[in-house]
Structure 1
Amino acid sequence: MSETSTADPARPAGALGAVEQRGIEPVPVAERRGNPLQLFWVWFAANISVVGMPLGVSLVALGLSAWQAVLVAVLGAFGSFALVGLISVAGRRGGAPSLTLSRALFGTRGNAGPTAVALVSRLGWETVNTSTAALAIVTAASLLVGTGGDAKSAPIVAVLGVVLFVGCTVAVSGMGHGAILVVQKWSTWIFGAANLLILGFLAVTIDWQAVGRVPGGDLAAVLTGIGTIAAGTGIGWANSGADMARYQAPAVRALPLVMSASAGAGIPLVVMISMGSVVGASDPAIAASANPLDAIRGILPPSVAVGYLVISFVGLLLSNHLSVYSAGLTTLTLGLRVRRVWAVIVDVVVTTVASLLFLLVADGFYGPFTTFISLLAVPISAWIGIFLVDLLRRREYDPVALLDLSRNGAYFYTGGVRWSALGPWLVSIVVAALFMRITPGEVPWYTGPLHDTWVGANGMAWLVAAVVGGALYAVFGLRSAAGAR
């Protein structure tokens, strides 16, 4: 069985007013005219959202000072998005989405595991974005009309916030690649400038003496912080790296692709995470709040706070519509024979329900948030390690085999599985789990037998997964990679 193209040649994917008809099939070389600057705008706008603030608050909760948190943000954000840039190189080479290219490594059936994890990751981040946007509406309503300050005390406002955000996401996400490039570019300038104005206002109103009194953490806390930021930023986006880069011109070099992702995402993330760490250091009660935007209500005057909450809502939308776009491609890679627009609709329904449960049922925000990014970081990092090692040898992908799910397909391998890649992926996850602790609340759900070691205590399980997966694949997979085109 072969997945046939859904592209409409009369409606080019790059046209702003047209819904993109292309699914996961490789982009023809003649249509690959992109450049790294386009990706810079895409990643900048996608990471200018207020979600960076909770990450900054979580660093202070780990025991870091605000100044250590800034250093951690630089290392974690720029470094992890360099990985996104490296995976973008595969998109330029193969012209297809990340998880579609991954079929060449894992087999057309064996790739289901990494693809399912990638889809859960995208759905999870969309849930976080949607929930945070709804909380922005809740917070604004509390300032304007005196409703409750969290979702459970103002459930109707929270539901309306979810519906509004989802509606805005669908309005943009269905447009596809051409619209995303235009929207992300102009949004970078508009909302980047607005965020800088708010940051300037915070700079003169924050209690800097309280910030300075927060003691610094030790090396272990710094390493844990770097892992937290890496897991919550670039690692979460890594398996989407090729989704936008598939339109890059074949002549584009690897280094500009890496720099466009690293700088494009790193700059806004460092700004937002730093702001969150400073706000968290000025008021320790913020980390215990059920609403991560309480800091905005407490620090800024009501009129300024409402304006910033509107900016936050739009900033989250810029991240979310890119995530929905990527999730639609990932859904198609799982083998669902539907158009990408319908895949987007299914995605939105799932995240709407999940967001309402997250807002109205879950206890707290930071516990489930950090648990989510820590859990998914392990299987995604394992995939990253294997994918990057494979990229060292692989210079091209067979465009026909990527879509051929039949037993005669070049990437069907043994029963649809390439065990020299899937085996290392599974083993690395198991090994990394030995170092993990899952604690969404006060009581741990799971504690690995090696959690008390230096690696486990410093939250480095994701790095273990990447190193083990990559090393095992280098031993067992590279010998056959040259022939697996």
Structure 2
Amino acid sequence: MSSAHLDSEVADSAKHPEKRGIEFIAPAERHGTAWALFAVWAAPNVSILSLTMGATLTLVLGLELWQAVLVIIASNLLWILPGIVAASGPSAGTSGSVITRAIYGIRGNRIVIAFYGWFVSGIFLALNWVASTFMGAELLRRLGMGNDTLAKALVTIAVSGITVLVAVYGHGLILRSYSVVTAALLAIFVVVTVFILSKADFGFVQPEPLGGLDLWISLSIGFAILASTPLSYSNSADMARYLPSETRTSRVIAATALGGAVPGVIFLSVGALLGTLVSFDALEIGIDFALMDMLPGWLGVLLVVGVVLNTVALNGMTTYTASMVFQSIGVPIKRIPSAVLIGVLGTIFTFVLAVSTSLIDAVNLMLQFLLIISVPTITIYATDILLRGNRYDSLQLFEQFPSGKYWYRSGYSVAGIVALVAGGLASALFLSTDVWAGPLALLLGGIDLSVPAGMAVSALVYTLLFKKSARKQEVA
């Protein structure tokens, strides 16, 4: 490794932009405690999207409240995977987009990360920005702005600009500010929750209760939609990489997993209750708008503020981690210009979605399709950590020549590439959406097993091939 990888340009601080990218973080610069990660992951998940996705379970999929809650709990158990992935950050001392060189090989990793870590990150930015765009534009409309397209453009540009600024300042700002952001978001969404609970009918029963195959279809699709959130966070190592290497792995896993799962379970459940309060016609205007109509005027404004704050928190982290992707694949660009570039990409995607579709349609459809890549990606990452005992050679991760440990065969790891393709194919075959249903999903009558099938296949294939090839090279 060159000295550039070992030396720090600036200390990790909230007071100035973070210049470090994927460079190795020396032991002397490590700091913080694992439990600080709880707020880092809680802030993005105190979200209007949680309310919208929760409402989908009861309003769109027709589940009873208790069925919806079971699906919510089951899907949020998958937060254990981002927790396991986060543990590799302190161990390797670098970005997850570099650590995965050990999984796919130096050249193979460039292909995987270029697509999933950059292009797909832009899509995730858009999915989250579009919520604040819709609601911010609606608030401007109610305040008298007549041009809806202009309102959406102004909100999108303003929110994306603030988000990119958070990403530019980076890890130090995120670590030190997200506890305050989490507290503010909790205050806003707790007030909204109290209002919803005051109107809720806890004895609600669907007019036409589901049974048999129809019930299993709704349960499986609901699980797939909700599971897409924890399964998308294969970037969790980036937020933990500044922790001292001796930090207990169990604490990193617990803080990350609980930070995402606790607010997820709470506010998705509140969303399921919300779905029982609004009519099916609410889908035409959007569940988020229906909620605004239910709330007192002052609380509606406060909710929009919360939505924007949550969007900045979530996308600030996503933009930050995506800004290191170009460096990890060998593009000669600094982290800060890269953050600006991914922000521009996400802004374009956001504006296209905002003027062409509804929020709930955009979210549900995109989240299901992204399972094809997110399911095997995070499953293989977590499996690799378990197989290696979370031990990575930090110096060799930066050795990008045939002499390096992680070069494998011509720069590609057969285990990683084959497992990724096999897992993605399994997810696609079992995926069930309005526009695409895999042949095996059709064989099951429309039941969506894309998540368990993709996880099982990718983990099994990677484990078998790792034991035959990658482990032999590690020993050598």
Structure 2 length as normaliser, TM-score?
0.91
Q: Show the counterpart of 1:451.
A: 441
Which whole-Å deviations, capped at 9, do the CAs of 1:73-118 have from their partners, x for residues lacking one?
A: 22212x1211110111212211122221110111011113431223
Distance 2:93 2:359 in 1: 38
Q: Please report how far the alpha carbon of residue 438 of structure 1 lies from its aligned counterpart in structure 2 after TM superposition.
A: 4.4
Distance 1:25 1:449 in 2: 44
Distance 1:402 1:464 in 2: 31
Q: Show the counterpart of 2:372.
A: 378
Q: Does 1:134 align with 2:126?
A: no
Asked whether the equivalents of residues 7 and 23 of structure 1 are also in contact (C-alpha less than 8 Å), the reply is: no
Distance 2:431 2:152 in 1: 33
Decide whether aligned partners of structure 1 residues 458 and 186 sit closer, same or farther in structure 2, where only a CA change above 3 A counts: same
Asked whether the equivalents of residues 9 and 19 of structure 2 are also in contact (C-alpha less than 8 Å), the reply is: no
Distance 1:366 1:4 in 2: 49
Task: State how 1:436-475 maps to structure 2 within 5 Å.
Answer: 436-439=431-434, 444=435, 446-454=436-444, 457-475=446-464
Q: For residue 462 of structure 2, what is the amino acid of its counterpart?
A: Y
Q: Secondary structure at the match of 1:64?
A: coil
Q: Show the counterpart of 1:150.
A: none
Structure 1 length as normaliser, TM-score?
0.90
Q: Secondary structure at the match of 2:407?
A: coil
Decide whether aligned partners of structure 1 residues 198 and 437 sit closer, same or farther in structure 2, where only a CA change above 3 A counts: closer
Q: Does 1:283 align with 2:278?
A: yes
Distance 2:376 2:150 in 1: 41
Q: Please report how far the alpha carbon of residue 146 of structure 1 lies from its aligned counterpart in structure 2 after TM superposition.
A: 6.8
Q: Does 1:225 align with 2:222?
A: yes
Asked whether the equivalents of residues 280 and 286 of structure 1 are also in contact (C-alpha less than 8 Å), the reply is: no
Task: State how 1:270-309 maps to structure 2 within 5 Å.
Answer: 270-285=265-280, 288-309=283-304
Q: Show the counterpart of 2:238.
A: 243
Distance 1:217 1:86 in 2: 36
Q: Does 1:390 align with 2:389?
A: no
Show structure 1 runs of 4+ deviating over 6 A: none
Q: Please report how far the alpha carbon of residue 471 of structure 1 lies from its aligned counterpart in structure 2 after TM superposition.
A: 0.7
Of all paired residues, the percent bearing the same amino acid is 23
Q: Pick one of 184, 194, 198 that aligns with 1:200.
A: 194
- Unaligned runs of at least 5 residues, structure 1: 148-152
Greater mean alpha carbon deviation, residues 3-12 or residues 255-264:
3-12
Distance 1:284 1:313 in 2: 26
Q: Pick one of 170, 179, 185 that aligns with 1:185.
A: 179
Q: Show the counterpart of 1:25.
A: 23
Decide whether aligned partners of structure 1 residues 388 and 165 sit closer, same or farther in structure 2, where only a CA change above 3 A counts: same
Q: Please report how far the alpha carbon of residue 141 of structure 1 lies from its aligned counterpart in structure 2 after TM superposition.
A: 1.9
Q: Does 1:234 align with 2:230?
A: yes
Distance 2:286 2:426 in 1: 35
Decide whether aligned partners of structure 1 residues 9 and 158 sit closer, same or farther in structure 2, where only a CA change above 3 A counts: same
Which whole-Å deviations, capped at 9, do the CAs of 1:283-304 have from their partners, x for residues lacking one?
A: 1336623544212222112222
Q: Please report how far the alpha carbon of residue 12 of structure 1 lies from its aligned counterpart in structure 2 after TM superposition.
A: 0.3
The Cα RMSD (Å) is 2.3
Decide whether aligned partners of structure 1 residues 154 and 399 sit closer, same or farther in structure 2, where only a CA change above 3 A counts: same
Q: Pick one of 333, 343, 347 that aligns with 2:342.
A: 347
Distance 1:256 1:436 in 2: 34
Q: Please report how far the alpha carbon of residue 470 of structure 1 lies from its aligned counterpart in structure 2 after TM superposition.
A: 1.1
Q: Secondary structure at the match of 2:313?
A: helix
Q: Show the counterpart of 1:164.
A: 158
Q: Please report how far the alpha carbon of residue 3 of structure 1 lies from its aligned counterpart in structure 2 after TM superposition.
A: 7.9
Distance 1:367 1:136 in 2: 15
Q: Please report how far the alpha carbon of residue 207 of structure 1 lies from its aligned counterpart in structure 2 after TM superposition.
A: 5.1
Distance 2:116 2:84 in 1: 20
Q: Show the counterpart of 1:330.
A: 325
Asked whether the equivalents of residues 415 and 465 of structure 2 are also in contact (C-alpha less than 8 Å), the reply is: yes
Q: Show the counterpart of 1:268.
A: 263
Asked whether the equivalents of residues 41 and 256 of structure 2 are also in contact (C-alpha less than 8 Å), the reply is: yes
Q: Please report how far the alpha carbon of residue 269 of structure 1 lies from its aligned counterpart in structure 2 after TM superposition.
A: 1.5
Distance 1:161 1:175 in 2: 22
Distance 2:33 2:365 in 1: 36
Q: Pick one of 462, 466, 471 that aligns with 1:477.
A: 466
- Unaligned runs of at least 5 residues, structure 2: none
Greater mean alpha carbon deviation, residues 30-39 or residues 126-135:
30-39
Q: Show the counterpart of 1:174.
A: 168
Q: For residue 94 of structure 2, what is the amino acid of its counterpart?
A: A
Decide whether aligned partners of structure 1 residues 209 and 38 sit closer, same or farther in structure 2, where only a CA change above 3 A counts: closer
Q: For residue 256 of structure 1, what is the amino acid of its counterpart?
A: R
Distance 2:447 2:325 in 1: 32
Q: Secondary structure at the match of 2:403?
A: coil
Q: For residue 450 of structure 1, what is the amino acid of its counterpart?
A: L
Distance 1:179 1:286 in 2: 42
Distance 1:57 1:199 in 2: 13
Q: Please report how far the alpha carbon of residue 22 of structure 1 lies from its aligned counterpart in structure 2 after TM superposition.
A: 1.4
Q: Pick one of 408, 413, 431 that aligns with 2:408.
A: 413
